[in-house]
A and B are shown apart, each in its own frame.
Chain A
Amino acid sequence: EPEVTQTPSHQVTQMGQEVILRCVPISNHLYFYWYRQILGQKVEFLVSFYNNEISEKSEIFDDQFSVERPDGSNFTLKIRSTKLEDSAMYFCASSGGVRFGYTFGSGTRLTVV
């Protein structure tokens, strides 16, 4: 069964450092997303990406965040200057059509110290 692959599975970084979270969506999917989940809390929408551009972003997705699809297969989330409150599980997801739901990757646990 096709999978969404995320790397790394766990990233520890110092406050103020830049991190890049990587995702390889399912190959024939057209819609890509980043969500995050702070421990014990809801899954929160960050950003959606379609046709090589951001289609929507949440209030969480401020200027410290950016996304790219650099080579037609990878989809990355960059956090420029991490804060303690960025510590969370970050999920990449892709969809061939939103009516059919997302497939989530296994997540990257980001710990900012």
Chain B
Amino acid sequence: QKEVEQNSGPLSVPEGAIASLNCTYSDRGSQSFFWYRQYSGKSPELIMFIYSNGDKEDGRFTAQLNKASQYVSLLIRDSQPSDSATYLCAVNILYNFNKFYFGSGTKLNVKP
């Protein structure tokens, strides 16, 4: 069973703070890791992907991957109320390029 686990939240942070979202996965064959943002009633929107250990930065977003510990995280700096959404972690398995396994998502609330 390929599991991707996320804390469902809600995670509440004040505006301007750093929001830290975490995801763990069970399959060591996992190759590519994605963070999607989903507003209520809308489709998932790709924020970032990462496939090498370490950090990857894109604007206010930083993805961190630690394959030894099997976790991937997303940091959002200078959080804005517009960042309030559910953040989905998705994992692609090396030997199965056909699909992603999604976590259940973490709901983030950024309070003005």
Interface flags, B12-54, vs A, CB<8A=1, else 0: 0000000000000000000110100000001111100101000
- The 9 lowest CB-CB distance pairs between A and B, nearest first, are A48-B98, A56-B98, A104-B43, A43-B102, A45-B99, A98-B97, A101-B46, A42-B104, A107-B43
Q: Check if B102 sits within 8 Å of A99, measured CB to CB.
A: no
Q: Is B92 an interface residue (CB 8 A)?
A: yes
Residues of A within 8 A of B100 (CB): 45, 98, 102
Complex interface residues of chain A between 66 and 111 (CB less than 8 A to chain B):
89, 91, 98-107
Residues of A within 8 A of B34 (CB): 101
Interface flags, A21-49, vs B, CB<8A=1, else 0: 00000000001010000000111110010
The CA of A98 and the CA of B100, in the complex, are separated in Å by: 9
Distance of B1 from chain A, by nearest CB (Å): 12
Residues of A within 8 A of B69 (CB): none
Q: Check if A106 sits within 8 Å of B32, measured CB to CB.
A: no
Interface residues of B (CB under 8 A from A): 31-32, 34, 42-46, 49, 51, 88, 90, 92, 96-105
Q: List 6 A-B contacts (CB under 8 A).
A: A31-B98, A43-B90, A91-B44, A98-B97, A101-B49, A107-B42
The CA of A45 and the CA of B103, in the complex, are separated in Å by: 12
Residues of A within 8 A of B105 (CB): 42
The CA of A56 and the CA of B96, in the complex, are separated in Å by: 9
Q: Contact partner of B99 among A48, A104, A107, CB < 8 A?
A: A48
Q: A99-B92, A104-B43 are in contact. Are A42 and B99 (CB under 8 A)?
A: no
Residues of A within 8 A of B49 (CB): 99-101
Distance of B101 from chain A, by nearest CB (Å): 8
Q: A100-B49, A101-B49 are in contact. Are A50 and B44 (CB under 8 A)?
A: no
Residues of B within 8 A of A105 (CB): 43
Closest to B92 in A: A98
Q: Is A64 an interface residue (CB 8 A)?
A: no
Closest to B96 in A: A56
Q: Is A17 an interface residue (CB 8 A)?
A: no
Residues of A within 8 A of B42 (CB): 106-107
